[in-house]
Structure 1
Amino acid sequence: MKLLLLIYTLLFYTSANAQHLKVTYNIKDFNTQIPDSFKSNPAYAYLIKRNENIKKHIDQVHFELKATSNESIFTYIDILDPPKDIGKSIKSGIIATGMNGIFYSNNKTEELSIKKNIGGQIFTILTKSNNRIWHLENDRKFILNKHCLKATTTDTIRNSKGKFLKKITAWYDPSMPYNIGPGTYRGLPGIILSIEVQETNKHYKIEAISIKNGEKFIPRFRVENPITQAALDSLFVSKKGGF
């Protein structure tokens, strides 16, 4: 009887720990091109220097994804006391990838909440967690000794400058039953360990550098100034893109 109780306890402990996951990511292959039309802009030299600093130092940025079986939180880890110019450039690089802020998702409600500091104000953008249509492909590769499969999709971006396409390639591990990944990237039959994004003048990759199971955490997320993305876009327009 004691042996059965011990086996049950061990199985329960292993199962409970397996439901807690922590994945650390960083940014690789970041490249942004400044359009030639900006050459006459007084800020052109500054933008070139900023991009050089981003490329040189962006790999210092780490993101952390913590998950239970039902909830997850994704955020970037602050770099302690970076030099002022480098710190600003790194922050610009994080914003350029769209990974600035705290991303909270709930699988039961299919909610995705994104808390961001925009113009000095904190907003929580409320949306649905699975709003992309992925195309599953047969290509395979290993990431951290995990056998990953390929999926692709395309986001359409519309703003005051027109319509743009963002091509996205994801690599996910179907052996890990979490339909989550970096930032807003989720909805695949396995955890996303790598995202590669190609835009008109921008390219970057966010890839996992470590995976840990069993590190328990309690998701804590407080909604502040809830707003939809459409309402936030309208607010930007009304303030002519600024606050």
Structure 2
Amino acid sequence: MKKIVFLIAVIFNYVTANAQDFQGVAYYESKTTFDSDFGGRGREMTEEMKKRIAERMKSMFEKTYILTFNRSEATYQEEEKLETPGQGGGGPRFGGFNSSGDYYKNVKETRFTNQKEVFGKVFLIKDSLPKLEWQMGTETKKIGNYTCYKATAIRSVDPLDFRSMRPRPPKEDEEEADKPEEKAQDTVKRRSPLDMVETPSEITVTAWYTPEIPVNMGPGEYNGLPGLILEVSADKTTILCSKITLNPENKEEIKEPSKGKEVTQEEFNEILKEKMEEMRERFQGGNGRRDGGGRRPF
């Protein structure tokens, strides 16, 4: 009996050690499409202006990310690339916002930490992982050498999620045509960049996962399926795995970001809204000043 108990203990310790030592690295190509006619307002732009905006949007929304994961933790980071000459510099930013950041998640503790930068200020967003009610399907397809199964879910969208923003139809242009006395002032407000976009409240997410890699992981905030998620289609964004290495020879330490002002997701959204309001005011000639020139600090 002692020998049997000892053997069970040895097997348990071996399995536990292997589970803790397991690691994988997956590369994902992320692409977000955008309206090249800018919601019908393309006629107001020169071809050169359209070209510059399209190039900038491409650099913002076509990126490679690296998911480093074990059975309970993962980091999701943008792959570092040398900047192409003539692209304007500044990194992955839109109006001063860092569009990527270091993302850490712990599926066992159902929480995440996202390090982001806004106008030179670093924030540490700590909150619970969003829970998706996945509808499991029987449809399959091959992604590389892996057989993947389809799952879908409805996800609420953050109003400040640039990936799902879309131009508003320029209906006001026709409605205000008969009001010349108001047109000059209203046109400035109507054509503010932040007033020209809208975000849906919900989107459908389609994921393809493989049980051949039995970990509850996926790119970014996605997880919750009985296998590694290799592809995600969410509104205008597609994230596709291009390469996987399991148990690499040189394992990397999965580190949770620790530098920055700690806030919840809701608190960070309020900060973003404030900064976007300042951008709106500067665009409209207010120079982002309030109450006699004061500017709200972070």
Identify the TM-score tier after normalising by the shorter chain: 0.7 to 0.9
Find out whether 1:36 has 2:37 as its counterpart. no
3-state DSSP of counterpart to 1:177: coil
The structure that has the greater radius of gyration is 2
CA distance in 2, matches of 1:86, 1:210: 30
Measured after TM superposition, the shift of residue 56 of structure 1 is: 8.6
Amino acid of the structure 1 residue aligned with 2:205 = I
Q: Is the 8 A contact 2:152 2:205 kept in 1?
A: yes
Match of 2:92 in 1: 91
Judging changes above 3 Å, is the alpha-carbon distance between structure 1 residues 51 and 68 closer, same or farther for their aligned structure 2 residues?
same
CA distance in 2, matches of 1:207, 1:36: 30
Q: Is the 8 A contact 1:130 1:187 kept in 2?
A: no
Q: Is the 8 A contact 1:170 1:192 kept in 2?
A: yes
Match of 1:176 in 2: 213
Deviations 1:139-165 (CA, angstroms, capped at 9, x unpaired): 111111111011112323353866613
Amino acid of the structure 2 residue aligned with 1:209 = S
Match of 2:65 in 1: 63
Judging changes above 3 Å, is the alpha-carbon distance between structure 1 residues 63 and 225 closer, same or farther for their aligned structure 2 residues?
same
* Matched ranges for 1:155-194 at <5 A: 155-157=155-157, 159=159, 164=200, 165-194=202-231
Measured after TM superposition, the shift of residue 57 of structure 1 is: 9.7
Structure with greater strand percent = 1
CA distance in 2, matches of 1:102, 1:56: 18
Q: Give the TM-score of the pair, scaled to structure 1.
A: 0.76
**What stretches of structure 1 of length at least 5 have no aligned partner?**
1-7
CA distance in 1, matches of 2:68, 2:241: 13
CA distance in 2, matches of 1:99, 1:147: 32
3-state DSSP of counterpart to 1:138: strand
Judging changes above 3 Å, is the alpha-carbon distance between structure 1 residues 185 and 150 closer, same or farther for their aligned structure 2 residues?
same
Match of 2:246 in 1: 213
Judging changes above 3 Å, is the alpha-carbon distance between structure 1 residues 186 and 53 closer, same or farther for their aligned structure 2 residues?
same
Find out whether 1:232 has 2:236 as its counterpart. no
Q: Is the 8 A contact 1:76 1:99 kept in 2?
A: no
Percent identity, aligned pairs only, is 22
**What stretches of structure 2 of length at least 5 have no aligned partner?**
1-10, 160-194, 280-297
Judging changes above 3 Å, is the alpha-carbon distance between structure 1 residues 52 and 154 closer, same or farther for their aligned structure 2 residues?
farther
Match of 2:232 in 1: 195
Amino acid of the structure 2 residue aligned with 1:21 = G
Q: Give the TM-score of the pair, scaled to structure 2.
A: 0.64
Match of 1:21 in 2: 24
Per mean C-alpha deviation after superposition, the further-off stretch among 31-40 and 66-75 is 31-40
